[in-house]
Amino acid sequence: MDSHSYNNERTIKKWGLITVRPPAHQMNDRSIVSNVPDMAVPDNMITTSKYSSIITFIPLNLIEQFSKLANVYFLVIAIMQMISAISITNGQPVIMGPLSIVVCISMIKDFVEDYQRRKSDNAENTRKTYLIRTNEVPREAQWSELRIGDLIKVQKDEQIPADILLMQTSDKKGNAFIETKNLDGETNLKCKNIQKNLKQLQEQSEDALLALRMTIKYERPNPYLYQFTGSAEINNQQIPLSEKNFILRGCVLRNVNYIYGVVCYNGHDSKIMLNSIKAQPKRSHLERTMNWFIIVIFLLQMFMCGLGGYLNSSWQQIHNSQLSYLDILITDPEHNFVKNLFIKWGNWILIFTNFVPISLLVSLEMVKYFQGMLITQDQGTYSAEYDIKTAVQSSNLNEELGQVDYIFSDKTGTLTKNQMDFKCLTVNKKSYGKEATLTNEEVSKLAQVSNVDFRDKAFFNDLNQTPGKGPLHEFLLCLSLCHTVVTENKNSQLLYQASSPDELALVNFARYCGYTFEGLDASNSMVVNIKGDIKNYQLLHVLEFNSTRKRVSVIVQDQANQIILYTKGADSVIEPLMKPVVPQLKEKTWNDLQEFASIGLRTLLLTRRILPLSTYKEWEKSYLQACSAIQNRENLMMESQAKIEQELELIGGTAIEDKLQEDVGPTIQYLKDAGIKVWVLTGDKIETAINIGYSCQLLNDSLQQIIVDGNDEQVIRNELEKAIQKSQNNNKNALVISGNALIIAMKPELSLKVMQIAERCEAVVACRVSPKQKQEIVSLVRQNKPNVTTLAIGDGANDVNMITAAHIGVGIKGVEGQQAARASDYAVGEFRILKRLTLYHGRESYRKNSTLVNYNFYKNMLLVLPQYWWAVNNGFSAVMFYDQLLYQSYNLFFTSLPIVLYAIFDEEFSGDVLTSNPSLYDIGIKHKLFNVKIFLYWVINGTIQAGILSYLTFRSYEASSIYNGMTAGLWTTGAIVLGYSVLNSNIKIILFSNTYSIGVIVGLFGSVFIYLLLFILVSEKMPKSDMSNSQSASFCHMKFYLTSLLAIGATSIFDLALTKLAQWSQYAQAVIQHDKHIELQDEQQLHQPSPNTQFQLNNSSVPKSPIKRGYTGFAFSQEEH
């Protein structure tokens, strides 16, 4: 990156304003010299806070606050209140009081959140590391001081302060073991090493390392955690560098005493910071709809105010001649129709200020925040098995959880535990593992390992017949060599650190059988202990797994100098790479693999190739050239790897199981019963995926399976047409589609057909899909059905794109790390929690938040519209009869707290009732509580009740005397109407509440008490107020109490009747649906056979096609994407 851009950044920071940096993709590739810190590049300081100080917070946050339309609206009202021609407040911007309170509450919340971020930033920036810099004494320096090119020393168990190139390690082999938990949540150790052509640096002193001037060229900053391409030039030799030589900021050094490294990326250019991009804010359907309703209300306000101005101007033109007692001059606006129209229009706008509720947004924010706290504290959302509380990371989507139409779920680690156990194998036309014939005593004599559930005595008998040779020996040798497992000796015990649970299961099975991988020795040889006989295999190359290759290979040289390539991967990937196989062997192996898949096991093929020395040398030369390439290195390496992974010989196949998580099946069934469509997106082969669908109750015998698979576009077109016909003739369908078919089916003209079929299906299973395809599937549904709500749930980094693409993202804090949880809106411990999260918390949040929004508009109708009804009696002259203090306190103090407490604590049904009666969830899916009709009902209801209150009050106080022929006065009448509005608003909450906690009761009575207190204060203690003595003119006369009883009674009885009618109707329907649900459950249990609890199979009991009944309840994955 050019220094000019960085200088600009430093200048901006100097003045404490917003930091401006070019995006990473616009920077240049880097070239640095070791031990020559580049001062043109920013230091290692990181900033995640939005504001650098209180000085910048106030102006910048004010800009943010007034980017909200509601706040802009009230600011415009404040300006209008200062225009004397239209002001109804004597030119005083009285709305600024409530607006200031609302804005201050939001600013305080923002400041507290940002202050916490700044504290975290400061703690990070002031961490200490050992800095060795030319012309300086080596010292403990703050992280923030580091520059690219600096040499640093990191001790064991310390965090890495910046992205560094490994130069030296205390390990004689040049290895460094790191924990990446802070980056991806994974706790297994990763092995990094010094580039083999830099091993001479191992022997050098600290001073020699400091004197070294090595030019390092590498790619521009990027967010890819597992990618680094560069080269080092030393003694005129170009040395390729890869991510194996590169350690990232945030990692923790383990198992070695120290390392030295050169800083390559620092500060906001480090990969962990480039992966800390703030997710785009999501808004719920309720919020989006609410914003439209606010616009509609605003337009209605403008119309009514314009109408009021028009009617007043017309009235003035008619009656001006009769108003001589008002001393209206011919030059006054009252004689100018147009001028008077606009002035009165402005007057009415100011009177109608609270038509848009000023407290709505802040009330909704507060409610959602506390609802999120309740979700976290709920024991029903706590995973006791993993000791994980549900984390709410985006509480503004609480009600969206109650309106989910589609759920897209990953499988491995989401539906399953991602705890792999080795179960079965097939070698040389014979399969093992289907029967448990070893006794406990015999098992106790074998190596005690985890992740293995294998008790087939026939395997051990066959293995012992040909010790050290034969197909089974080759099979176990492949398992003990073809992997990337790291060994660790802890308390005299050999421990394995594997990159995935299935990798650990395979290596542990070899160890279980007496083939123990003991690690790499000083000469980079893989040491395998075969029942006491130590064998060394020189490790030449590891061709690692990625989601494109879908296989892993190692090239080793045995003690007889024979070079062997071992490869393992999915059968669909390995088969095209194999040399011709004896037909009987291939048929038996493939049948065994299908058998394993049909009961839900994860299958792999093991192969090998003996490499002639000349072939290997020729390939290695081209491969090293590919590894040294600066541009397009990854693709060149994969092309070279593919050239050697040919003509593979079949060794055998493996099968691993992964049990479903607790209550996955019932959870999916309840979600389906609630009306939610569940799609499972998995890397499994079709047979495995279908079986898993049955295991987790996604599929059942009543559903017609529509399978779409193939690689040819015309074939896919034909299958989609057939699927459309089949789905038309049956209303109970399930679609199973492969990743290969999806590549073709995602074309615009075909994707519509896929959606047409999917809409007729109760369940969809997508097999062998890549992470990108998962995102595309979610986007496909959102694009074709814009009014539905989607939820995506997953546990791994491969699910992040899918999670962010959905309306709601749920991450599982699982074995695969925390990246999915960090990118999500809600993070849970287990899949089953999704049922309570949606059916209870989501449904209740939707119900209460809908009521809160509707209520805010309703109560403001009660406040504002009496002035419009009164205008019928005064020619729409835009006279306000409310005291400004009481008027502005209405939304802030008299009616705000009770509805907030209601929306936090009210409960229509308990969590157990709602989670066991999924039919009650449909209020959200069908938008029953927040739609145009419901909104109009609340608005019209408020309008009618405002009319009732106005009519009764005006007739009692303005049309007749209260004592000695004297009337109460306009301001007294206004105060009484406002009091009735306060009472009516709070009684309304009592009517639609389902529970009455002490807090809600105190809030209700407290709000009314505050009104009475202010009313008395203004009336009796403020003699200059227009309301002076209003308390005496009202509370001291029986007419006040009779009118109050009549007005409040009439509106409350009317409201109560409507509310109870609606509740009774909803309850009656729920009871009927609940009874039907119980009957359906009883019928299903009657016909459901007992699940198998033992894993015992034989060829005659397992059909070639997927099993339809009697599932084991297990589910496994074919490929991990």
Please give the C-alpha separations between residue 785 and each of 620, 806, 859, 1051, in angstroms, as whole numbers. Answer: 52, 12, 35, 42
Torsion, Cα of 868, 871, 877, 880 (10° steps): -60
Question: Is there a binding annotation on residue 1003?
Answer: no
Amino acid at 812: I
CA distances (Å), origin 53, targets 9, 60, 891:
17, 11, 33
Q: What is 231-258 written as a DSSP string?
A: EEEETTEEEEE-GGGEE-TT-EEESSSE
799 is in an annotated binding site: yes
Element of type H or E holding 802: helix 800-805
Give the residue from 735, 591, 725 showing the smallest Cα distance to 653: 591
Torsion of CA 457, 459, 461, 462, to 10 degrees: 160
Q: Strand 175-179 and strand 189-193: pairing?
A: antiparallel
State which H helix or E strand residue 154 sits in.
Answer: strand 151-155
Residues with catalytic roles: 410
1026 is in an annotated binding site: no
476 touches 454 (CB < 8 A)? no
Structure tokens at 230: 């560069």
Residue 1009's CB is within 10 A of a number of other CB atoms, namely 12
The answer to the question of whether 895 is labelled as a binding residue is no
- Nearest CA to 409 among 912, 919, 1115? 1115
Cβ pair 763, 693 in contact under 8 A = yes
Residue 531 annotated in ligand binding: no
Is 416 labeled as ligand-binding?
Answer: no
Is 798 one of the annotated binding-site residues?
yes
503 annotated to a ligand binding site: yes
Task: Using alpha carbons only, give the angle 571, 572, 577 rounded to the nearest 5 degrees.
Answer: 85
Asked if residues 578 and 650 have their Cβ atoms less than 8 Å apart, the reply is yes
Q: For residue 870, how far is the Cα from the chain centroid?
A: 51
- Does 548 appear as a known binding residue? no
Residue 566 phi/psi, 5-degree rounding, is -110, 130
Annotated binding residue 306: no
Torsion of CA 1090, 1096, 1099, 1103, to 10 degrees: 30
Alpha-helical runs (H) found in 906-1035: 911-916, 922-925, 932-957, 970-992, 998-1021, 1030-1035
Is 768 part of any known ligand binding site?
yes
Please state the φ and ψ torsions of residue 94, each to the nearest 5 degrees: -65, -25
Answer yes or no: is 412 a known binding residue: yes
Residue among 974, 938, 870, 981 nearest 348 (CA): 870
Does the annotation flag 602 for ligand binding?
A: yes
Is residue 929 within 8 Å of residue 851, measured between CB atoms?
yes
CA-based torsion, 414, 415, 421, 425: positive or negative: negative
Give the DSSP H/E element, type plus range, for residue 490.
strand 486-490
- End-to-end Cα distance, the chain: 34
CB of 813 closer than 8 Å to CB of 793: no
Tokens 């409507």 — which residue? 1058
* Residue closest to 409 by CA, chosen among 943, 810, 939, 867: 810
Binding-site sequence positions for Mg(2+): 410, 412, 795, 799
Binding-site sequence positions: 410-412, 503, 545, 568, 602, 682-684, 768, 774, 795, 798-799
Binding-site sequence positions for ATP: 410-412, 503, 545, 568, 602, 682-684, 768, 774, 798-799
